[in-house]
Structure 1
């Protein structure tokens, strides 16, 4: 009888110019059995150099960096290494900064001060090829992307069950699967099944696209 395979180890590069924040991140992430911190950088130029040298799976990236900011560094890294997943972890929350980071190729956006659980949820989403938005910035991003009500999107949303609609509304708020499970008194596996069903019915690839369809349909 074969043993269950061990979860793949995610190799993480931390890009943060605050030494205490960098140390705290390294300690928090190193405590996770499926994460290995393989490098650190404290400015944008070094981030690009280290990413090119180490080829990590995930980069946790600040925006306010010396010499080259995190948005410019993200764009350069994504151009050279499109397979690398980038999680922004920053205190910058203006609409322009959030949209610019996502446009540069960031896969997830977390606000500093968030819980370790939310950061790990963002990293997990990025690892799976999905997107993650901190609830503090999700609404402004959705508002930016919102367009007049679309009949096709409304028809797609009409295929969802009542429970799936409840889950989708929380996804629009930027809630993670564990947070949705807690809010709706469901198990995380049940929420995961609902999220998969929503994406299939809406014909989208990730949570951000699902939220955009919800907005364009007039659901929220």
Structure 2
């Protein structure tokens, strides 16, 4: 069964390039194209794509607002942010809104195709260096707001959350904490429930915004 992809970008040439790349890849199908956030929401609601390739800087309604609506209203849709810059407040806002990760627009085609498969599987695309840096920078720069509470998590869940926030994979977490892969997966599932997080990307954000991890401690 093909992964259904919605391409969202305000530049027709960019949309066409992504469509050509995705449509020629085995197991992937472009089901629609949108030129702004409002159109993206309408198409996502009607077409129920598995993955939305979302530009963030668009007229009418930007990618952050569109991501928030799609993640809230279209169950099963996973948003992959496409951006020109790796340190962009729009990307941070989109991750907080529920996006499953981000990729630079100049990434190799193979990386984009792999990223679609990653987010379609329900995982988050977290490049350990870039994503940590982006989240840390904007989490610390934003105006103060109530920090997410991690008081309800266990000491072991705290250890797992810390390693997730530092960009470690499940096998790496299992090795460092001397746990089985199944146990790590169970801890992450409980963290998602307790912190009301959609995926690993939001767990990372929660770790920074709660103060569990800071840019200095993560490097």
For the aligned pair, the TM-score class normalised by the smaller chain equals 0.5 to 0.7
Tell me if structure 2 keeps the 8 A contact 1:63–1:71.
Answer: yes
Does residue 106 of structure 1 match 2:99? yes
Distance 2:157 2:100 in 1: 27
Tell me if structure 1 keeps the 8 A contact 2:78–2:120.
Answer: yes
Does residue 140 of structure 1 match 2:134? yes
Question: How far does residue 118 in structure 1 lie from its aligned partner after superposition?
Answer: 2.2
Unpaired runs of at least 5, structure 2: 141-146, 148-153, 175-179, 190-198
C-alpha offsets along residues 15-34 of structure 1, whole Å, 9 cap, x if unaligned?
A: 01112211111111112111
Tell me if structure 2 keeps the 8 A contact 1:98–1:137.
Answer: no
Tell me if structure 2 keeps the 8 A contact 1:15–1:60.
Answer: yes
Alignment partner, residue 204 of structure 1: 188
Among 123, 129, 139, the residue aligned to 2:122: 129
Question: How far does residue 108 in structure 1 lie from its aligned partner after superposition?
Answer: 1.5
Alignment partner, residue 80 of structure 1: 73
Question: TM-score of the superposition, structure 1-length normalised?
Answer: 0.67
Distance 1:113 1:13 in 2: 19
Distance 1:41 1:80 in 2: 17
Tell me if structure 2 keeps the 8 A contact 1:204–1:210.
Answer: no
Cα RMSD (Å): 3.6
C-alpha offsets along residues 79-109 of structure 1, whole Å, 9 cap, x if unaligned?
A: 2113211111122444532221011111111
Q: 1:95 to 1:22 in 2, by over 3 A?
A: closer
Distance 1:20 1:35 in 2: 20
Q: Which one has a bigger Cα radius of gyration? A: 1
Distance 1:92 1:12 in 2: 23
Question: TM-score of the superposition, structure 2-length normalised?
Answer: 0.67
C-alpha offsets along residues 171-198 of structure 1, whole Å, 9 cap, x if unaligned?
A: 9468xxxxxxxxxxxxxxxx88557756
Question: How far does residue 207 in structure 1 lie from its aligned partner after superposition?
Answer: 5.0
Alignment partner, residue 26 of structure 1: 19
Give SS of 2:123's match.
Answer: coil
Question: How far does residue 37 in structure 1 lie from its aligned partner after superposition?
Answer: 0.5
Q: 1:138 to 1:24 in 2, by over 3 A?
A: farther
Tell me if structure 2 keeps the 8 A contact 1:17–1:66.
Answer: yes
Unpaired runs of at least 5, structure 1: 1-7, 158-167, 175-190
Alignment partner, residue 4 of structure 2: 11
Kindly report which structure 2 residues correspond to 1:12-91, keeping only aligned pairs within 5 A, or say none: 12-91=5-84
Give SS of 2:188's match.
Answer: coil
